[in-house]
A and B are shown apart, each in its own frame.
Chain A
């Protein structure tokens, strides 16, 4: 109880001082050297992009000279939901300054996140938000998901030279992210610019390399005039590119979509997947850390309209999340389109 009172007092004090720091229309530069312990909590461990996010967060941790501890802990894949709830609950018990979570528990995380906030722990989501926004201070959105449709349509346009057949190789039929992105692309394709691009089929590789590989080859058999396979999943795009390369089909059918530079490097250089897009998870971890550090050290209030400087990435502003009315987000930025020009630098 004594502990709690102290925390409340500290929080009140911090909120008080933060009021001075945020003058209207003015970008806050975060003071370095504040001691806050923070937890970076991925959906689960053992996934490359989450490790990259951790690298970005560690970079920011060093840059901001935080004498506190930055922990990268997460559950195992088969225990993701319960594990995330457990870590969130424990973080509140430990009195962590902030938890940065790529939420995989849907709204099931809400009670534990609210309890964490009550205990004085800031909850910052990244990569995947809390759907209802309850228990969440702010969401760091990697990209504007509305723009993803246009990006994919544009890559198809450029690869096909404005004319030809395209097929989509997605993850599972009920993957909500991918379904939304494909729907967005279909809307984008209605624009006159893409009138000569025909979307012939959408197939599913279940986000498994072997299934995706076989589906990609089946597409080529089924549609002899197919020009590009668009795969909005990192598993699918890599499997499709490998299938085209193995069968010597790269001259005929190109692969594009959302992929990881490190996994796509060889296919981009040999022309099988000349263009693909993604966001940089290191940047995402870096920006997330800056935000969480600012909030937990009381230098940011987390109110809409607040602008702060996130080190090498420049200024960012907290705004309302258009996808989830009543909640707050920081939009990291546009997609990065990778080609033979820039893929090598990003792959390392």
Chain B
């Protein structure tokens, strides 16, 4: 327990309450979408009914890349990025660094989407990175959910500013929560009192808050960094330290090798480099990049997931013209540094990627706990102001947003599958979200009784969750037998999770979960 004067505690309580009340519902949106986005890659794989190959770079790729390089203008040989998307397709983006219409540095080139086994070209798109990467019909659902979390679908850079401010607000709320929490350790094992509704609600808020607070600090800190670094920090650093030369700044930051000999020279055997890299890193490559394809100063950087026992992902660098192995490279800079080590910690801490599916499952659960803390804190705050009409209206909005958001997210999934046969997922996914959100809001306006409304929302969630796996299969998605044979067990697990969650919500809609004797209102209420 931290000892503070009464005056300071009053101010901290005000910070804790107001920070949650003013933007609490928006914070809930970012938290819930963030908890779901922890599994964004798996959602992408699930919506595509599994990957066509579990090891996309196991097939020789050298000849394919040479064929692709011959099909694009030489300008686009400046940089080539290759990776596997959530559908298991290999994506190759051959591009140069240019400035887009908005005057911002952007990458322009040709994107090929390839079958991972046959290397047949499934799609070819040309343009700036921001255009070609947002046009993948298979990635519509996971990208929609991630964008909702990252920038609330607001235009750049305002969406990042908005989520950055929400991150700072969450940081203020979490730190003030820790400072005013008198019994943080004992509250971890608090059994909610049932003598009155207010005490039960307050104890439940404290219990969930005690578990979620340290996590909330980590999440808010890393989230605010990610938002502000992209929208504000990087352009500012480029101006202050490099006189506005953003390309020179990025080259220094990522540790790009200085341009050397432009003499034309073919790339050495790429497949041999991929094999050497896999041996050095201890895991299969997840992608690679080629800088200055076809030149004597070409560099190949190969990316890997963290090896067993490692916290961060690995990169291996090769000299392109000779295929010589130059060694591992840190994420930032050309040699290990405190800055790169600190930066390496951000993704595992924010996305929970440090121990595979287990840690991400824990991050998902803590994310849901943070959602619960946000909503219950807001309800407690509003209960004390129930006599005030404006706050009463906000209180009406809490269940509408609380239940409406997951209903709308499920609606985006339904929209995705309805749009899939006609390859209209890019428009049907947001349409499904908006339609489901509109229905949830209309129900919130029409149904005045809170308990009836909650039951209706739970039933809608239950039906939507159960419908999603059925709809996936109904529109031609792969069945469980074939998925199991192809090693796509996560897709089956995701189907089952949705079905179980749907059944749980449908059961909750019957009211049996709330069938316990309702505590009598206490004198404090």
| Binding partners A and B | no
Interface set of A (CB-CB < 8 Å, partner B): none
